[in-house]
Chains A and B, each alone.
Chain A
């Protein structure tokens, strides 16, 4: 423990082996609509943390602004609900200052792929050890139903009355092209699978994208539970599916429409996370570094270059 007040906390293997879901519960009543897919994400995230033995104080869940981003208010964990589009950037700062924390970002599709698109691109190529869960409901829900970057062509909303004219972002392909080292998709209607994907993402050393098909029962009447359930298939149904095979992953990630792949689409383990390239972190988290690491003598040495 340093003078700085920061407690050395979570290691990769969490310490709370006797954790239960209750440890992550708080008294806040959620404002989500009954039936919202975000309930599934919340349940799955808690399950994944329990399964990995990561206690609430060892994780930092960082979200943006949107329906789904409210998740941090609905669970007991170190949480930071930031700005619309910015949680990846804030999370990168948290991770680089204190890599002992398990940093998990949760945000909506508008947040992640629209306003925060630049951070998404750069997180994917930077590869910090951050797990990124996107609640992709193909709509701007909190602002009451405008089309989003992942809305399909022709999707009619208040801001696309004649149908969306842009081609949708395929986040898996973008992440793959940008160099992401873990890319998965899951469905909020299957929290067990989702919890598995989140756990695999947290275990992955590096940036892990989990794009979650998340029905918005209030504003998206097209992409419903049934719509997704009819289309999804698990990539690991094919025993020969190898997530390390880039070409296969590219072809799989490109699928959308009649058949939508879920599961770990791509993963490689040979890229060290960004933090390992940061010289200042060689001696551990900088939040634990005492101020007197710079003393009078070192200070005098620093001044010498100006003499």
Chain B
């Protein structure tokens, strides 16, 4: 086997990245690259799983059977997304159980948006339209991420996401065209979710420590502010179309740049929620912990059953 020194390995690694050659699990990679991916992919996985809670909250109270079936299918998809991503983390040598325990101990983060409560049925509309909308905007470029298993997981995820956004928009559209009370409910949901949805793209570029390195590694393809601008530009006309108002008095179209200008984001609120002081942080983590603890006997029983079957089959074969 050939011996390489570390500089040579690093150079070859960056050369692959620069030539858009994917990095696969058994390839050599710098430790920082591995750690960055473990952190990012596990956070992403946690977001998918914690993200089931605010929507799961409404499954039993969906207004009719069609809406219920759709919401159930959407939430099931999110469980699948979590699973694809935990599998991708495992290819990096991370211990899956440990990454989940890190979530439960508060060491690992997940998307702050899921720390906001879903108070009305219209929130199912706002979440699908805005939250899944923002997630799509983040995830589409990740399909070209330099790490093969992450990119492949994202391709699957993106295929499934677009129905999530459409079903949310459909809920908003229906409510906005309904009675004055229904329209007010839709507007209220938009008012509460608009700014947290814009915060989903993370801090301003000037404040974002990891962006440059992640771009050099082609884990990230666009900066936070680029994606946020794209979200605003795409969403404003959609809101107008269904007769809802974006809750931003500073919002205006700039003819010269061809983009919307939008108001200042409340970053204090963002950091408060990241640090655990959002309206639902504690509920979310408590629910995850409880699910893990309550499920323990099931996992153990399944293992015991599998062990028994193995023993029985071995006996039959001998």
Are both chains from one complex? no
Residues of B within 8 A of A (CB): none
